Structures are given as structure tokens and as C-alpha cells.
């Protein structure tokens, strides 16, 4: 797992290096879009996971796991 962590860190760093100040200005100019994406990621996905888990009759442990995975940003 240490190689995975290092690889993930390198990937995140390489993505961050490509950002420019204009990218942040573009994001700040559309706050509605940012709010919508945040809401879909952190509100709709966990509720969808809970609904699917309950519909399929999963155990509480599996249901909790699905909700947690649904809460992870998939960007």
C-alpha cells in the first residue's frame, strides 16, 4: 500500500500543478454549479445508496458501507 499512497500523492500533485489562477476565478464565477455538484455528491449519492441498500434488504453493516462509499467524491 505504500506504493499506492505514493502514486496517489504524485497523481494529485500533478493535477494540482496544472491549475492556474484563472481556473479558480472560473469556478468562483459559477457558484450555482459548484453548489449543485456538491449537493449531488454529498446528499443524493448517500441517500441513493441507502435506498438501494434497503430495497435489496442488505444487513446494517453492508448498508453503512454503501452509504459511506456513496459519500466519497468520485470526481
8 has pLDDT over 80: yes
Which SS3 state, helix, strand or coil, does residue 59 take?
Answer: coil
The residue assigned the cell 449519492 is 45
Distance CA 60, CA 23 (A): 42
pLDDT value of residue 15: 87
Confidence class of residue 10 from pLDDT cuts 50, 70 and 90? very high
| C-alpha cell recorded at residue 45 | 449519492
* Contact between residue 66 and residue 54 where contact means Cβ atoms under 8 Å apart: no
What would the pLDDT profile of 25-64 be if each residue is shown by its tens digit? 999 999 999 899 888 888 898 999 999 999 999 999 999 9
Model-wide pTM > 0.85:
no
Amino acid at each position: 500500500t505504500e506504493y499506492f499512497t505514493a502514486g496517489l500523492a504524485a497523481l494529485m500533485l500533478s493535477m494540482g500543478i496544472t491549475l492556474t489562477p484563472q481556473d479558480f476565478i472560473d469556478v468562483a464565477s459559477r457558484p450555482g454549479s459548484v453548489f449543485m455538484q456538491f449537493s449531488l455528491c454529498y446528499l443524493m449519492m448517500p441517500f441513493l445508496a441507502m435506498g438501494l441498500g434497503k430495497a435489496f434488504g442488505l444487513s446494517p453493516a453492508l448498508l453503512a458501507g454503501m452509504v459511506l462509499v456513496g459519500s466519497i467524491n468520485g470526481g
